[in-house]
Amino acid sequence: MADRYDLPLVNSVLHSTDFSKAGQQAFAHALAIALIRKTSLTILQAGGNRSKSWDSFPSVRRTLERWGMLEVGSPRSAVFDQLAVRVKKVISKEKNPLAACLGYLEDHEIDLVVLATGGRRGLRRRLKSSTAENIAQRSQTMTMFVPDGGRGFVAAGSGRLTLSRILVPIAHTPSPQPAVQFAARTARVAGGDVGVTLLHVGDAANVPEVHIPDDSVVEWTSEVRQGEAPDEIVAEAERSSANLIVMTTDGRDVLIDALRGSHTERVIRRAPCPVLAVPASWAEEYLSGRPLGDVVSEEGKRETKVLKKTFREAAQSLHPDRAADEDDRARLTDLMARANRAYEKGDRVEIERIRRERERG
């Protein structure tokens, strides 16, 4: 039986960057994925000065020359003419990285966002969700988190692809099937012998049933562990030397509990390798072959657009980086958390109320 999920994995990639050294690994992964898929790559910077920041963008041509994909001194046009990758560099007027990325995603169809992320250990840092995690939560777009200094599957210096083991955590909710399918597609595109481990944390008699794609390229294995899911997922990734973790998220995994966060977020913060977060609702529509907008009414589309715009505008004034002092930072952190919760509930009026509260001081 033909696999109904056998569709193109990625047709467009967005990489949001702050030009830091920590972002180089994420840039390498974004570029490599665009090369493999022969698709578009957009590099986005928030709050930049066009006259000063343009030369700071990662150099695609120099990177491809270093990787041996282009001859040294190749013209700009060679990236598309020879490698079929269309590169676009964008400087957003939005100073808030979250707002900039959301604004771009609102107006452009993107299949995959690639972001750099670091560990979030320590109480103070755990109380604030990272920009990378926030973008994925708000955008509901498939997002890959690439840890600085972690074990990636693309070597930033050479462009060499090393993908030998993919880890897919499975639970009853959300459905692990989208993650299973994307893991299979990723292994198939990467080529070579790739192993996929399905990990269930919980009762061995209650392992979710999943459909395993019929693919001779992939070696499937299953593991069952007891304990805290995030801890066991990270431990298995370390034990098996996984190059990639693929997880389905239901889209409601926000930092409602600021000290613990969702399973997905807790894995992202500690993972030794990139984590691909696949929103279940988005994936089911994408994988079923239906246009993503067909299931949403026109009125619903308009309401969603207004809600996103309202949240984006509020985020500009509520972001803790705008704080005048530590007391103000604590207040903004609280207001931003409230705005996040209101956004999840679709409560545009409450978001506006929170923004006015900030403006009143």
Query: Domain coordinates of the chain in residue numbers?
Result: 8-156, 163-293, 298-359
163-293 shares the fold of 8-156? yes
Residue 13, both tokens = 């990639």
| Rounded-to-integer distance, Cα 117 and Cα 194, Å | 25
Residue 9, both tokens = 């994995």
| pLDDT for position 121 | 41
Share of the chain above pLDDT 70, in %: 75
* Domain at 8-156, CATH from 3.40.50.300, 3.30.470.20, 3.60.21.10, 3.40.50.620: 3.40.50.620
Amino acid at 112: L
Q: Residues with Cβ < 8 Å from 139, sequence gap 6 or more?
A: 101, 102, 105, 113
**Reported confidence tier of residue 292, pLDDT bands at 50, 70, 90:** very low
| Rounded-to-integer distance, Cα 40 and Cα 104, Å | 15
| pLDDT for position 169 | 94
| pLDDT for position 50 | 56
| pLDDT for position 291 | 41
| Rounded-to-integer distance, Cα 133 and Cα 258, Å | 13
| pLDDT for position 285 | 56
**Nearest residue to 273 via CA among 224, 233, 229, 223:** 233
**Reported confidence tier of residue 11, pLDDT bands at 50, 70, 90:** confident
pLDDT at 293 over 70: no
For 53-74, what is each residue's pLDDT tens digit? 556 677 899 999 999 999 999 9
Give pTM, 2 decimals: 0.73
Q: Residues with Cβ < 8 Å from 259, sequence gap 6 or more?
A: 123, 126, 127
| pLDDT for position 356 | 83
Between 114-123, 248-257, 350-359, the lowest mean confidence (pLDDT) is in 248-257
Q: Strand, coil or helix: what is 93? A: coil
- Provide the mean pLDDT of the chain: 78
For 99-148, what is each residue's pLDDT tens digit? 778 788 878 888 899 988 864 443 233 324 455 556 655 556 788 989 88
Between 78-92, 103-117, 131-145, 174-188, the lowest mean confidence (pLDDT) is in 131-145
pLDDT at 150 over 70: yes
CATH architecture for the domain at 163-293: 3-Layer(aba) Sandwich (3.40)
**Nearest residue to 63 via CA among 119, 15, 130:** 15
**Reported confidence tier of residue 10, pLDDT bands at 50, 70, 90:** confident
- Residue 154 or residue 295, greater confidence: 154
